[in-house]
Structure 1
Amino acid sequence: MKSLHTVHVGGDRPYDVLIGPGLLGDSGHLAAPLRGRHVLIASDAHVAPLYADTLQASLCAARGELAVARFVIPPGEQEKTLARFAECLDALAALGATRDAAVYALGGGVVGDLAGFAAACWMRGIDCVQVPTTLLAMVDSSVGGKTAVDLPAGKNLVGAFHPPAAVFADTRTLRTLPERELRAGFAEVVKYGAAFDVAFLDWLDRHVDALLARDDAALAEAIARSVRYKADVVGRDPFEQGERALLNFGHTFGHAIEAEQGYRGGLNHGEAVAVGMVLAARLSARLGMIATDDAGRLRELLARFGLPTALPHGLDPQALLARMRLDKKAAAHGLRFVLLDRMGVARVASGVPEAAVLAVLGEATLPAHPPL
C-alpha cells in the first residue's frame, strides 16, 4: 500500500501501528492479528453506519469462517460507563467468544477505551485490535494499552493496561470527521511537541493551514511522528511507572474540567486538554520553570488550530482543585503535574503548591459575557 507508515511499539507485548489511506479495505493487514473465529466489532452510532460494513467485509474476505457480531453504543464521553462496559461483556457472551476471540474497536477514544477494557476482562483477557477513526484516537488513545471507563467522581478511574494486538489508522476516515473533532485531535498532536520536541512544535507552526485543510501528506506525517513519540515512551514504560507520565501533559487540568462539566455539553477531551496545556504552561511559568513568553507561544499555537485556551465560564477553581486531588495521577504526598522545564522538555513535578494552582485557575476563566 502506498503511503503506509508502520510504527513498532516495543515492550513485553509488542505490536505495530499501521497508518495510511485505505486500510479498512485491506483484508490482509486487518485480519493478520486474528487467532480464532469470533470477532466483536465495537463502535458507536456515528461511526458504525460509515465503516462497520467495510471492516466486516474485509475481515470475512480474509477469513470466511468468522463469526462476527457488533456492539454499538450512542456517541459521547458520557457513554464510557460501567453499564456500557457490562453491555459489551454481554455482547461477547452472546457471541460465544472464546479465549482466542478478538474485539475490533472501531471509532474514537470512547469506543477504544471501553472496548479495550472489555477485552482486558473477558476470560481474563482476549485480543483487542484498535481501529481509530478520529485524529485524537489515532495519535493518542489507541496506542499504549490504557483502557478504562469513567465514574461520576472522575475520568478513567476504573480500567486496565491491555496493549492492543495491532492498531490500524485509516487516514481516509478523517475525511468524514466533523471539524470540531479534527481540531480537538490537534491538541494531542501539539502535546508531543510541547512535551518532547520543540522542533516538532516548529513544524506544526509551519503546517497549521495544511493540517486544517486535511492535506493527506501533512496529516500522515503528523500522525506518524506523534505515534513514534508515544511508542518510544510506552515501549520503555508500559505501566506508567516513570516517564510515561509525561504523556499526561495538560491532562490533570483537562480531566478535572471534563469531570466537573459532567462529560455533557461542555468541552470535549481534546479541547479540555488544550486548555489544560495552557494552564500547565502558565503554572510552569508561575513556578519559575519557563518564561511567560513560552507559555504564550503555546497558547497562540493552540489558538491557531481553533482550540480553546481559557476555562469556560462557571467552573469553580476550588471544585476543579478537588477533582485534581482525586485524579489517578495525584500522589500520596500532594498534587502532581507534568510541567515544562523548557519548550520540548517536560518533567513530573510532585507536591505542587495548591495556592499556585488556584492562582493559575483564577487567571484563566473566560468572562461571563464577551466584551463589547
Structure 2
Amino acid sequence: MEPAFDPATLTQSWPKPANPRPIVTFGAGSIVGDAHFPAYRKAGFPVAGLYDPDRAKAEKLANEWGVKVFTSVEEAMAVEGAVFDLATPPARHAEVLSALPDGAAALIQKPMGSNLEEATEILTLCREKNLKAAVNFQLRFAPMMLALKDAVRQGWLGEVVDFDAWLALATPWQLWPFLKGLPRIEIAMHSIHYLDFVRQLLGDPKGVHAKTIGHPGHDVAQTRTSAILDYGETVRCALSVNHDHDFGRKHQACEFRICGTQGAAYLKLGVNLDYPRGEPDVLEIFPKGGDGWVNVPLAGTWFPDAFAGRMANLQRFVSGEDDTLVSSAEDAWNTMALVEAAYQSSAAPATPLAKRP
C-alpha cells in the first residue's frame, strides 16, 4: 500500500552555498529594490555594492539598503571572487558581459537580450569568455514551483497531460520606464517566465501558435497574449494572458492549472495580483489516490524567495556544490528561441476561413 500524500515532504527551497560569494549588482532599477536585495538580505548573501551609470539613482537605492556605490565599471569588476548580478536592460547585457573578467560567474536578467539575435551574441560571449552564466528565470525557484516539480517527480500527478495558464489582471507597466518604446513587451518581458517554466516541466515543444497585441488604452507594445504550445497529441498547453483587466480585484486571476493522468495541481501566482506588494502564493494538489484537494503550506513566495534560490544555485555551481547550473546560458537560449517563435507566429497570417460558395 502506497503512503498517503504528505505536502510536508515536498522540497520548497534551494540549499545555500557553504561560503557565499560577494555579489556585485549592475543596475539600480525597481526590480533590484523589490526582489534582488530583499532576497539576498533574507538569505544572508553579501552584497559588495552596485553600479549604475545614473549615479543619483544608484546612490538612492544604495542608501536604502546600506550598500556601496561603485563609481565605475572597472571598480565594480575589481571585487575579488564576485558573482556579477546583471539587473540591466536586455540591450545592455552584452556590453556588461564583454567587460567581465574571463571565467567570471554572472547572473543575467531575463530576457537574454532583446531578441534571438542578441541572445545568440550573448551565448557566444559566454562561451568565448568561459563565463559561468545563468539567466534569471527565477520562477523555476519559487517555493510553489519547487514543490510542484517535486510532486511531479514523486508521481503524485501521474503523467502531466495538460497545462493551463490564465491571467486577467492590471500590470503597472509604468514601474519599468526602460520598456517605453520597446517593440517587444508582453512575451519577451513577462510571459517568458511561464514559457521557460513550461519548458522545464514539459520539455521543448515542437512549435507554438501565438497572437500578442496591445490595447487601445495605452501605448505599451503588447499587453495581451494567447498561445498554444505544440506537444503532440497527448499534452495540451495553453496560455491566456490579459494585463488590461483593470476592473477591480474581484474577477482578476493569475493562476496555473496542471493536470496529470492521476492527479492535478492548482497554483496562484500572488505577486502579480498586487505588484510589487503581492498576495500570498497558493499551491493545491489533488494527489494520485486522494479524494480531494490538499493545500500545500508554502515556506515563501515567488518574490523575493525565488531570487535567493536562483543565486544560490549559481553560487553552488561555481563552488562545485551543485553539478547542474539551472537556466544556464545554453538552456536559456532555447527559451529565447521559443519566445522568438511566438513573435514570428503572431506576425504570420492566421489560417483563413473558406469562402462560402
Smaller-chain TM-score bracket: 0.3 to 0.5
Which structure has more relative contact order (CA 8 Å, sep 6+)? It is 2
Higher helix proportion (structure 1 or 2): 1
When normalised by structure 1's length, the TM-score is 0.34
